[in-house]
Amino acid sequence: MGETVFSKIIRKEIPAQILYEDDEILAFKDIAPQAPIHILIIPKKEIPTVNHITEQDVHLVGKLFLVAQKLAKEFGVDSSGYRLVVNCNSDAGQAVYHLHLHLLAGRKFSWPPG
């Protein structure tokens, strides 16, 4: 599995609406939002899927959640609620093989998911 469009976003070779950035993490608006708030939170390190996470990535993966928490507060949905989604491989509908957390908010979500 090689580089994806997200690597180009990290390198600022293609545009994105960036909402958070540090040396390890980037968060930007999803190009095809599935909710009023739809943000992707990604590690800058290329990790294709959840299956590729290693012990060395534990801190990095934890940071994805802390950034999600921070953005949820900033967007004022920390109390009303939000959904975090990670798709892994084809049955889950993963389209971009660079690990990412979807932060979805601003409407009610059903369960079980579709």
By CB under 6 A, is residue 87 in contact with ligand AMP? yes
| Dist CA 24 CA 21 (whole Å) | 8
- Between the two ends of the chain, the Cα-to-Cα distance in Å is 27
Gap between the Cα atoms of 97 and 92, Å rounded: 12
Contacting ligand AMP (CB under 6 A), which of 18, 22, 95, 107? 95
- The Cα 10–Cα 16 span in angstroms is 9
Which of the stretches 61-69, 75-83, 88-96, 104-112 binds ligand AMP when contact is defined by CB under 6 A?
A: 88-96
Does 1 contact ligand AMP by CB under 6 A? Answer: no
Count residues near ligand AMP (CB under 6 A).
11
x/- mask, ligand AMP, residues 38-77, rule CB under 6 A, reads: --x-------------------------------------
Look up residue 42 and give its two tokens.
């990604």
